[in-house]
Amino acid sequence: MLPIPLLLLWRGVRLRCPRCGQGKLYRRPWTLTMYDTCPVCHWVYEREEGYWTGAMAVDLVVVELLVGVLIFMLNVWGYPLLPQFIIGFSIAIILPIIFYPHAKSLWMTLDFLLHPTPLL
């Protein structure tokens, strides 16, 4: 059995409800159309107005770290500056769009870890 924080993180990575772990967050894979509540436990996903601002921050921080590490590694490996710029710029544009559904899920997971609600 996984410890609670790892279990919640695993639910977040799988795009599942942090409360029950069974309900899906999105209507279709890789879309930004979320359910309003969990289809299984009926937990409300958007807790308040502006709730997803934290998800945008998670998305931004993770993407910046990944692009920074990538550019550092390309620099260490001796790539010229122009390919570094092209690769870094392309990834900095594409990756936030791809990662955003997971950022929302991880933000809900962090919120649920700090403010858990019991299953009824």
Q: How confident is the model at residue 17 (pLDDT cuts 50, 70, 90)?
A: very high
Per the CB < 8 A criterion, the answer to whether 88 and 67 are in contact is yes
Q: Give the pLDDT score at 1.
A: 60
Residues 6+ apart with CB under 8 A from 30: 101
From the list 120, 99, 117, 95, the residue with the least C-alpha distance to 18 is 117
What pLDDT, in 10s, does the model give residues 43-93?
Answer: 998 888 889 999 999 999 999 999 999 999 999 999 999 999 999 999 999
| Mean pLDDT value across residues 113-117 | 86
Residue 2 has pLDDT above 70, yes or no: no
